[in-house]
Chains A and B, each alone.
Chain A
Amino acid sequence: MLKKSLKYVIIGDGHAGNSAAETLRKGNPGSEIVIISSKPTHYFDHSLLATFLLDKKDITSLYVYPYTWYKENNIRLRLNQTITKVIPDKHELILAHNERVYYDRLLIASGAKPKLPESLSRYKNLLTVFTDAVDAMKLRERLGTFKHVTMVGGDCIGLHLAGAMLKLGKSVTFVLNEYNFWPLEFDETVKSKLIGCLKKKHIEVVADDMTTEIVRDGTGLNVMTKNGKIIKTDLAFLTSGMVPNIDFLDGSGIDVQTGILVDEYMHTSAQDIWAAGECATVYYPELKDYRQTTGEINAKALGNISARNMLDEKKVVSLAEPGKITIEGEDFITYGWKGFSIDI
């Protein structure tokens, strides 16, 4: 029998975390539920982030639930608090301000962060990221200060952002490598189709190449590539895909391989700890393989399944339908991203 007084702690206030909280609340009304998130803003719809750049709306307009929803559902929301360590043996989390938080059952739904290729790590300070509400607010402030942007690497966040940039009258260059475009199912045919579509949108594409160096040039930047191209630009965005956000698990003993390894029940290698959403590397029995997932639909589904397992239902994960995005009327299959168009 499931204990009523269980304390569920969820790391992450995104799609996976919130969907899990909702399921847990329904399944165990008497339990204590706490969501902890490192972000000062709260649960919002990422697919609207680019449109936020185009008008003067308040950031709260992107929020999925009003604050009152958490009160009504008796879910404690702790924003702007970062977990720095997980100690599975003690069922304890350590926060950046040194507080220790106990849990009976823990869900890690800490999402992903932009991948900084090791070869570009020394240029970190020259790269701009665009993944959360704070990034968007900062970027909106400085829209008047640049004309040309370069996307370093290829990913859908870059596409998403490019849509807004074009609308704002900025010119855009993509530097794409040969082998992947996160999170598209990618091969030579997809690549040429994608390049065609981008060119139709008057986006400059530097294909089959790689950014190797970024240097300041006056107020702007020079992005240099392996094939010797030098792109003069005002802003360079880091758009080389996303990687699980799991640094705080170092030393916890929880098994990871890029993301947190979970079995078909979304359970990690540590007792009473589950993981869901973009931070998890999930074992899918039908694939006989692990897969990293992304996208709103997947995060929600995985959050829900984890929660059901945290409620002692034995629920096996199943592969979500692949996602689909559309550019210039052409469809592209993704590992989970949906409902996305560059034509905003």
Chain B
Amino acid sequence: MKEEKTYLSSERESFDHLTAARRVERTVFFSTNKKDFAWMRENVPCQTACPASTNIPGYIYTDYQERYGRSYEINRSVNILPGVLGRICSRPCELSCRHGWPGFGESVAICHLKRVASDFKPEGHRIEESMFGPSGKKIAVVGSGPAGLGAAHDLAIFGHQVTIYEALERPGGMLRYGIPEFRLPRNILDIEISNILRLGVDLRAGVRVGKDIKLEELTKGYDAVLLTAGTYSPNKLGIKGETVEHVYSGLDFMMDANSGKDIFVGSKVLVVGGGYTAMDCARTSLRLGAKRVIINILTTEDYITVNREELNEVKTENVEIRGLVSIEQIERSGSNLNVKFRRNRLGGYSEKGERLAVPIKDSDFTDEADAVIYAIGQRPETNFAKGVIKLEKNSMIPFDRSNSATEVKGLFVAGDFGTGASTVIESIASGRSAAWSIDRYLMDRTRRKKVVRFEKYSEKQRERAWDFIPRQVMPTLPVKERVDQLEVELGLNRTLGKEESKRCYLCSLKFEIDVTRCIYCRYCMDVCPTNCIHTTKDVVTEEDGKQKLLVTDKWNEVSAIVIDNNNCIRCGNCKKVCPVECIDVVKSELIEQDVEA
């Protein structure tokens, strides 16, 4: 017989020794006070940076407890596709992680730990969905990429009847037709999509809106329509030679490659562009037989959008990166393409904060290649909406970013289709947020909201030694074995995952000194490794709810000893030394809650 597993950790069971009275003390409290939201924003920087607002410390701690199913569910409840995201997310959270702040080391491998939850959740683990009753409302979603899927999930939960119209044969959008399989195995994608469809979502694949069915028919036949049709019109280089044979747009190249078509790449490939698509085109070219691939970027590696790990993998496969160049012209000469480039130097910053490249006059040079792939972004293909809504000058659909609504009643927009090319996590968040707006529009009231949940935290503290564990490195396939579509990243195993999970400071823990009990001994200040416990004369609350400490070192002015949680690494040293046990730890989490529950 298989060994019985309990997924409750020993830490949890250790409450058993508490008296009933002590156990009830562990009360839970919910708040919508702006002070508490401000504290969360400032203190849990990873969750603030996550477009979907994932409770990161929450799922990392449950990973640590080896409650992988729970960890997966904490993710899934807000980001819908944890197995997918645990592989290919752009990881804005890791750029903000407190562990990566100057002097604290490297950020926590937040994304890899998401994959740990997904890889090790028990087979057939319990999926937690709490459905609203049927509303009788019908909604059409155009497009089944991350935005469409995220929206369909939440709309179905809200009790609406959802139909997705998808132009291509299979659902997933760029997850299936853009991102290559060696980064995102399709079985993972299929399972997570089916978890959404089985909520009662009707998928009509192979139906292109605008061609097989008119958008007007949808706006007439449904109570609301959400457009999440992505960006499928590649930006052009606008140079001579763009249409020459063996010059491809990155998007077409990846879509063909992912549909299993035969594409000529030859021996030397020049890729132009510095985003995920460019990286994928380069790596896919190698798998199609190219021997040398050079990615050409306008500025430098510091200013491209892909995350460092992705860039590292690209280089590991011996793709070269050439910075500070712009493509000028492509010419065919016999079986070769002659490609003219111009050198750039770095300039200032654009309004959007992008680093600019400034051309250097007369600095042209020529390189040869068998194929050229340009991946310089793509735009939404909005023609099919023309009869229903007036487009902006740049052919984009005008809409209100605060509620995803267009000026046409019942017509909403989300994902890359609305904003232009972004990332998977931004699209999921955008889709879900549109779903909430649609629900508000259809039901005439708010049925879900965000709240801060407080719970007294008396579980085992972290250990200070854990702050010195180095970031665990993702095991990968040796370069020689990276053929076909074999997944390159192998995932952290349970041991590596456990080590990595210990590194998280659990920033949602709030360390507070109870002034009424504090005897001003300052022991805590002496043991605090980050000098973040201060003698203060006052704490002022700013307009947005943010709290500011007025620090003083004059004893006659001191009114309290206060922990500046923003610089606190939750090491627990202070709590251990406090002689009067006046330092309390509260777990505070930003979560979603039903209003009428």
Contacts and interface: CB of A to CB of B under 8 A. Distances in A.
Contacts of B318: 117, 119, 210
B312 A256 contact: no
B478 A269 contact: no
Contacts of A178: 291-292
B16 interface: no
Nearest to B355: A255
Given A117-B318, A119-B318, A251-B102, A257 B363 contact: no
Which of B292, B315, B318 is packed against the most chain A CB atoms within 10 Å?
A: B318
Contacts, number: 52
A259 to B, nearest CB: 11
Contact of A255 (B102, B291, B346, B363): B346
Nearest to B345: A283
B455 interface: no
B292 A213 contact: no
Contacts of A269: 346
Contact of A256 (B302, B317, B363): B302
B480 interface: yes
A200 interface: no
Nearest to B320: A179
Nearest to B476: A122
Nearest to A180: B320
Nearest 3 pairs of A and B residues by beta carbon = A288-B363, A118-B316, A118-B315
B528 to A, nearest CB: 17
Interface of B: 102, 291-292, 300-302, 312-313, 315-318, 323-324, 343, 345-346, 360-363, 365, 478-480
A226 B300 contact: no
B7 to A, nearest CB: 34
Contacts of B102: 85, 251
B346 A212 contact: no
Nearest to A258: B323
A71 B52 CA distance: 61
Contacts of A118: 312-313, 315-316
A119 B361 contact: no
A261 interface: yes
A145 interface: no
B323 A213 contact: no
B518 to A, nearest CB: 31
Interface string A146-170: 0000000000000000000000000
Given A289-B363, A290-B324, A290-B343, A212 B478 contact: yes
Q: Chain A binding site: helix, strand, loop or mixed by DSSP?
A: mixed
A45 B313 CA distance: 37
A68 interface: no
B324 A213 contact: no
Given A226-B480, A255-B346, A257-B301, 17 more contacts: A85-B102, A118-B312, A119-B479, A178-B292, A179-B292, A213-B478, A213-B480, A251-B102, A255-B300, A257-B323, A257-B346, A261-B346, A283-B345, A288-B343, A288-B361, A288-B362, A289-B363
A226 B361 CA distance: 41
B447 to A, nearest CB: 44
A121 interface: yes
22 contacts: A118-B312, A118-B313, A119-B315, A119-B316, A119-B317, A119-B318, A213-B478, A226-B480, A251-B102, A255-B300, A255-B346, A256-B300, A256-B302, A257-B300, A257-B323, A261-B300, A269-B346, A288-B343, A288-B363, A289-B363, A289-B365, A290-B343
Contacts of B315: 117-119
A194 B291 CA distance: 22
A169 B343 CA distance: 48
A104 B318 CA distance: 41
A210 to B, nearest CB: 7
Contacts of A290: 324, 343, 345
Interface in A55-89: 85
A256 B312 CA distance: 17
Contacts of A213: 478, 480
A175 B342 CA distance: 34
Nearest to B317: A119
A213 B480 CA distance: 9
A123 to B, nearest CB: 10
Interface in A240-291: 251, 255-258, 261, 269, 283, 288-290
Contacts of B345: 261, 283, 290
Contacts of B300: 255-257, 261
A117 B291 CA distance: 17
B366 to A, nearest CB: 13
A256 B345 CA distance: 11
Contacts of A261: 300, 345-346
A157 B312 CA distance: 25
Contact of A289 (B301, B312, B317, B343): B343
Nearest to B299: A257
Contacts of B302: 255-256
Contacts of B312: 118
Contacts of A251: 102
Nearest to A255: B346
A100 B30 CA distance: 46
A121 B343 contact: no
Interface string A283-305: 10000111000000000000000
Contacts of A85: 102
Which of A117, A255, A283 is packed against the most chain B CB atoms within 10 Å?
A: A255
Nearest to A224: B480
B475 to A, nearest CB: 9
A289 B302 CA distance: 19
Which of A210, A226, A283, A289 is packed against the most chain B CB atoms within 10 Å?
A: A289
A85 B317 CA distance: 31
A256 B301 CA distance: 9
A15 B125 CA distance: 64
A43 to B, nearest CB: 31
A178 B346 CA distance: 31
